[in-house]
Amino acid sequence: MLEAIGNALKKGIDRIASAVFVDKTLVDSTVKELQRALIMADVNIALVKEISEKIKQEGEKYVKNVEKKEHIIKILNDEIIRIIGEEKKELELGKKDAILFVGLYGTGKTTSIAKIASWYKKRGKSVAILGLDVHRPAASEQLEQLGEKIQVPVFIDKTEKKPLKIYEKYKKELDKYNLVLIDSAGRDALEKSLIKEIKEIKEAVKPTHTIFVIAADIGQAAKQQAVILKEACGIDGVIITRMDSSAKAGGALTACNEVNAPVYFIGTGEKINDIEQFNPKAFVSRLLGMGDLETLIEKVKSATDEKTQEKLKKNLEEGKFTLADLAEQLESMQSVGPLGKIAEMIPGLGKAKIPDNALETQEKKLKGWKHAIKSMTKEEIENPELLEKQTSRISRIAKGSGTSTGDIKQLIKQYKMIKELASSAGAMDMENMHDPNKMMSNKQLMKLAKKFGKKKTIRF
């Protein structure tokens, strides 16, 4: 996603930075390339023209050559930031909030609501969902099933055909919750009856926020939809879904800029945890291959609950790191997302350097380890050293878990490495997990880097 813009930007910067003279042809050809990348990313055509004109004009200005380079690179950067947004904006929530979700058909409103409900539930809010989509068949059932999955109460009425009546019915009960997420029917901004309906809902419910859900692959229609919906019901935030596709989200992002609404979240997959807060700067950094630790840590936080973290911390403090802990770690790592996604966020591990199937085999290996640990006896789990002494155990476990003895040996190696690291680091301060700077001291980091470098046990 957004890679095309990123690449064009990188290329453009490289080209200008390495050129001896910044002349008109160079600027023109760079602009042309950027133009194509932006168009491919569905950025609004009028905006593309505006940006390229601006860069061209600046390129023609007479400034000393060196400064000119920097100048143009800065403009390039600024214009890209202008499209994707500047600062990360967080949804400001008080003690009692109601968020109304609006958007076109099939953009992922209902799925996003479940994801957000789960997001805020994990962060300690009491969340409820109100289903006001009375048009699409089985919309209520969908909410019901999702609510069950994430353990969030869902208020629906399968027979009522008037959304306002459903709201009246549950009004009192909903008052008990910190956060009420309101699902509405998919609507087309050009369809007057649906616009009227959403206006009525908005007037009655008086939500504290109205969030527009838009798909990353929408084309030039994005702007019009956003503008009309904004007029009708006042959008004050956006969620972009389908960010896991090959779409570049330029249409959606420019639409957000058009209506002056910040992007709070992006949906990156079908599962409940596939949601990220949108951080434009981190985003740009990720697409330029510079990593995004902040998002990764957010993800780890939402994937593991506090209890397991506590337990792990305690075990580490006592120097009792067992294979069971490793298994748990593997489990939570998998719920963070596929390795490819994680690697994208780690600085220096940009996707370009790792062949795709290398990650896949690594992932398979991790899965194998999980099964292997399950095939061990309790004694073996607590004392993995046993395995090294009695190698017949290894072949038994390999047979039982459908892995090879080599896999098991690697697992033990990995375990020992982590254990050593854990004990030498003393009690790594798990509480400061969410602060990347405090997470590990420089010394520890160096140690870790040395270890990985020397042994090369992790072959990415």
Partner 1 sequence: MFGFLKEKLKKFIESARHPKGKEEESAKAEVQEKNKEKLEYITEEAGEKADKKPRKKQKPEVKEIKIEKPVEEAIEEKLAEETKKQSEEKVGFFAKIKSRFSTTRFDQETFNELFEKLEALLLENNVSLEVVDKIRADMEKRLVNIEIEKSKIEQEIKNSLKETLLEILIEPFDITEKIKENGGTFVMLFFGINGSGKTTSIAKIASLLQENKISCVIAAGDTFRAASIEQLKKHGDKLGIKIIHQNYGSDPAAVAFDAIKYAEAHGIKAVLIDTAGRMHTKDNLMKEMEKIIRVAKPDIKIFVGESITGNDATEQARQFNSSFGVDAIILTKADVDEKGGTAISVGYITGKPILFLGTGQDYHSLEKFHPNEIIANLGLE
Q: Which is nearer to partner 1, 221 or 427 (CB)?
A: 221
Q: Which pairing describes strands 275-277 and 263-267: parallel, antiparallel, or unpaired?
A: antiparallel
Structural contact between residues 381 and 373, judged by C-beta atoms closer than 8 angstroms:
yes
Which residue is it, tokens 């596929």?
338
Q: ∠ at Cα 401 (395, 405), nearest 5°?
A: 30
Structural contact between residues 247 and 253, judged by C-beta atoms closer than 8 angstroms:
no
Interface map 125-164 toward partner 1 (x if CB under 8 A): ----------xxxxxxxxxxxx--x---------------
Q: Which of residues 236-255 bind partner 1 (CB under 8 A)?
A: 241-242, 244-248, 250-251
Q: Which listed residue (6, 16, 22, 42) binds partner 1 by CB under 8 A?
A: 42
Q: Which listed residue (52, 118, 184, 225) binds partner 1 by CB under 8 A?
A: 225
Give the tokens for residue 423.
């004990």
The site for partner 1, by CB under 8 A, has a size of: 56
**Amino acid code (one letter) for 181:** L
**Stretch of 14-22, 182-190, 308-316, 374-382 contacting partner 1, by CB under 8 A:** 182-190
Q: Which is nearer to partner 1, 25 or 392 (CB)?
A: 25
- Based on the shown chain and the rule CB under 8 A, indicate whether residue 107 belongs to the binding site for partner 1: yes
Q: Which of residues 7-26 bind partner 1 (CB under 8 A)?
A: 25
How far is the C-alpha of 174 from the C-alpha of 201, rounded, in Å? 15
- Cβ-count burial of 24 within 10 angstroms (0-12 exposed, 13-18 middle, 19+ buried)? exposed
Q: Which pairing describes strands 127-132 and 154-155: parallel, antiparallel, or unpaired?
A: parallel
- Based on the shown chain and the rule CB under 8 A, indicate whether residue 277 belongs to the binding site for partner 1: no
Q: From the CB of 273, what's the least distance to partner 1, in Å?
A: 15
How far is the C-alpha of 64 from the C-alpha of 53, rounded, in Å? 21
Q: From the CB of 355, what's the least distance to partner 1, in Å?
A: 14
Q: Which is nearer to partner 1, 209 or 248 (CB)?
A: 248
- Based on the shown chain and the rule CB under 8 A, indicate whether residue 56 belongs to the binding site for partner 1: no
Q: Which listed residue (19, 63, 75, 221) binds partner 1 by CB under 8 A?
A: 221
Q: Which is nearer to partner 1, 49 or 176 (CB)?
A: 49
Q: At what angle do helices 24-40 and 45-60 cross, to 10 degrees?
A: 160
Beta partners for residue 237, in sequence order: 211
How far is the C-alpha of 38 from the C-alpha of 43, rounded, in Å? 6
Contact set with partner 1 (CB under 8 A): 25, 28-29, 32-33, 36, 39-42, 45, 49, 104-108, 110, 114, 135-146, 149, 188-191, 215-222, 224-225, 241-242, 244-248, 250-251, 270
